[in-house]
Each structure stands twice: as C-alpha cells, then as structure tokens.
Amino acid sequence: MASRPLKAVLTVAAAAAFSLTTVPAQAADPDLSVWTEVSRTYGVTGAYAYEPYAVADGFTPTACAPGVGYRYVNEQNVGRTDPEKPAALLYEDGPDGRRLIAVEWIARAESGATAPAMFGQNFQQPVDLPDLGSSYTLRAWIYRTNPSGLFSPTHPDVTCSATADPDPDPTSDLDLDLDLDLDM
C-alpha cells in the first residue's frame, strides 16, 4: 500500500476510535444527534464516579429507591434543563462502594407548569420526591446500560440492599490510629 493511502486509512481508524470514546456504553436507542448533547453530560459528571467528589460538590445523598438507586441531589441545579447541570446523580452499591449509574434532571411540578423537555424527551410525569415535593424527572442511564432504554424512568436491575446505609461515611472504615515510632 502506498504511503499516502496508508496514512489516510490510519487517520480514519484513529478518528473513529477517538469518537467512540466520547460515547458512553449504551444501546443507541435515541437519535444519534442526542449523543452530542449527552456526551457533554458524560464529560462533566465523569469525576463523580468517585462518590466523595459528588458530596464535596454539594450533592446530598438520599435513601435508595428500587429501580432508581441512591439519589444525590444538588438543590442549586433543580429546575435547570442544562445538560451540564444535572440536579441529581444516581448511584448503586457495588463491591467497592457506591457506583455512579445515571444522572437526573428535576423540575418542580408547580401548579400549571408543564413538563420540560431535553434531548428530545419530555420529562416523566410528576413523582413525589423527598424534600422536593411533586417533581418532573428525566433520567439518563449513561453509566450503566439500561435494557429499557437510555431515558427510561427506571432500571430493572437496580435494587436496594436491606442493610445499606443511605449516607455512608467513606472514612468510617479507615483506622486512623497510627502508632508510628519515628525514633530510630
């Protein structure tokens, strides 16, 4: 193969590989143009895969809801329909602590308010959320593939442990009583 065509093939292959890394692992059920906006969400929330970062940034954990997981709410983002400002992060218990599985936008369902829309999706019908009252929600399962679809209101495989602590202290398992003998 000549040098120029070989470079072109390698360039296209590299570009394809890089473009795939920006799309979260999820069945392509929505229109492909939606992934451009959703990838912005994926990019700004990726650091929250480490749950203590979410808490440090103002996301407050709540109790687990079957099919949804643990909702960590940032009150400042409630009511926003900005792909880069989800109101909640959804986690589930994993072998190494909480694992980020989805993001959620929340808008209060005030009298006469219609459901907002994002990503070509209308928010789900109002549900009663703790501390928020009646609210419209839109979930995007961008960190755990949902067989029911990217924007499904629930995930069939997300369960709640009967012994789970809704607000774990990540430092509670650390033994910080170190007895160091520095005299040598």
Instruction: Say which residue the tokens 């492909």 belong to.
Output: 32
- Walking along the chain (184 residues) 10 residues at a time, the average pLDDT comes out as 52 45 48 86 95 97 95 96 96 94 95 88 90 93 95 95 55 39 50
**Beta strand extents in 51-96 (DSSP E only):** 60-65, 69-73, 88-94
Q: In the numeric block, which tokens belong to residue 150? A: 């990217």
pLDDT tens sequence across 73-108: 999 999 999 999 999 999 999 999 999 999 999 999
The conformation of residue 74, written as its DSSP 8-state character, comes to -
CA quadruple 57, 141, 67, 127: dihedral sign: positive
This prediction's pTM? 0.73
At position 94, the amino acid (one-letter code) is G
Distances (CA, A) of 102 to 12, 13, 26: 31, 30, 11
